[in-house]
Each structure stands twice: as C-alpha cells, then as structure tokens.
Amino acid sequence: MILEKYPDTSGSLGIAISEAIEEAALNDNTKYALGSVLNHTCLHQTVIGLETQKQFEKTEDFPDIVIGCCGGGSNLAGISLPYIRDNIAGKTNTRIIAVEPSACPSLTSGKYDYDFGDMAQMTPLLKMYTLGSEFIPPAIHAGGLRYHGASPIVSKLVADGMMEATAYHQVEIFDAAVTFARSEGIAPAPESAHAIKCAIDEALKCKQTGEEKTILFNLSGHGHFDMASYDMYFSGKLSNE
C-alpha cells in the first residue's frame, strides 16, 4: 500500500515498523518487539551507561559531557540516562547532547506533540518530538537515524532542558568518521559518526578556550557494512540532501 502511494520512496523506520506490525498481526506464529523509541526499550539499554560509570570509577574520573546519536532514541538513552539520573539527584551537572541528522531533525525542528510511531498509524499515540508520522526522510546513509520522531522519554528531557540536541549534515559526518578511522583504526557506522562529529567539535571548543573536559560518546556500531557509503564519500558523490 505504501509503495502504491509512494512508488519512489526510499523507505524509513516508520514504514518498517508498520510493515513489521502488519506481518505480526496477520500471522499467529509471529511476534514483534520494537527495538527503539518506546521507553521500556530505552530503559533496557541503560546497561550501556551504567557500565561506563563503572569504568569511570576505575579511572577516578567522570564525564563533563555525554554524547549519543539519536534516531528513535534508545542508543542515546542507553548511554545517557544513568547520568541524567545523577543530574536529577544533584550529584553531577553533566551536559547531555543528542545528535541527529539534519535530514531528519525531529528534536531540533520537530513539533512536541502526540503522534503515531509508525507511518500506517497502527501504534498508540506517543508524546514526542515529531516531524509527522507520514514524513519520509531523504535517503541519507545513516539509515538507523531515519525516523520521524524520538522516544517520549528523550523528548521530555529535551523539552525540559535536561538534554541538548544538535543536528549535522551527512558530508561533515563522514569527514568526522574518516578522521576517527585514521586516528583510531576503527571505521564507524554513519550513525555513530554523528556522535563522533559532536565530540570532535566539543573537544575543539576546549582547545580554543583552554578548558579541560572529559567527553564520553557512544561508538554504537562499526561501518563494515557501510563501505559503499564510504566509497561514495571518497568519490565525491555524497550530498547533504
């Protein structure tokens, strides 16, 4: 049905959710569990942030800034919610930064309202920052971030000023990814490169001001399956659209 209405669509996570729900609804032997967006998924992912806190205890350090890329929000929530908890308790004053693609800027340009989590509007309504459930983002190469909304819990934190949000175009994201790969020997996923770009920018700010800050970012995935995207970048065929 979606292809009939949008024959040239590049797809989106919202469309994928609708298709998965349809598949589960039509087959008794099929179940569907949403892997992002919903609050319980975000809370499950906090094992990531809790583990980093244990690691920081061993180094007797603590991050001044925590950064994560954001599509639906589970990756970002996973790394940041334990630090949000400590901020709320008055123990720390850590900056939390959500980084999203400029092509799909729900947190930085979306409306904070009730909306469906999928394009076919089969999910419950969620209070979140959204570009609209029928929004189909351009075919950028950070596929995991191509979602029209953001997790309700992440959206609430942004709305209340407890979390910041910023957005980048994909060419500058790949610039940062290549810098990281040449420095660390790891080719990051385009999604993860959003967090890398922000971390680099925050580090450069410290270099300019002379401040010393500990910056934590989540390298959420490798780019081994994104070599075609890197090839387009090096060939000068990658655009910001």
* Res 3: pLDDT: 62
pTM: 0.91
Site of tokens 């040449």: 182
**Residue-level pLDDT at 13:** 72
Domain ranges (residues) in the chain: 36-109+140-234
pLDDT averaged per 10 residues, the chain (length 241): 62 76 87 83 95 96 97 95 98 97 96 91 92 85 86 97 97 97 97 97 98 97 94 91 59
Res 139: pLDDT: 78
Task: Return the C-alpha torsion angle 38, 44, 49, 53, nearest 10.
Answer: 150
Q: Cα separation of 181 and 133, whole Å? A: 35
Q: What is the pLDDT of residue 5?
A: 64
Q: CB within 8 A of 169, min separation 6: which ones?
A: 101, 102, 103, 240
Spell out a b/e string for 152-187, using b for 16 or more CB atoms within 10 Å of the CB, else e.
bbbbbbbeeeebbbbbbbbebbbbbbbebbeeeeeb
Confidence (pLDDT) at 9: 61
Backbone angles phi, psi at 138, to 5 degrees: -60, 160
Q: Under CATH, what is the fold of the domain 36-109+140-234?
A: Rossmann fold (3.40.50)
Q: Is 236 helix (H, G, I), strand (E, B) or coil?
A: coil
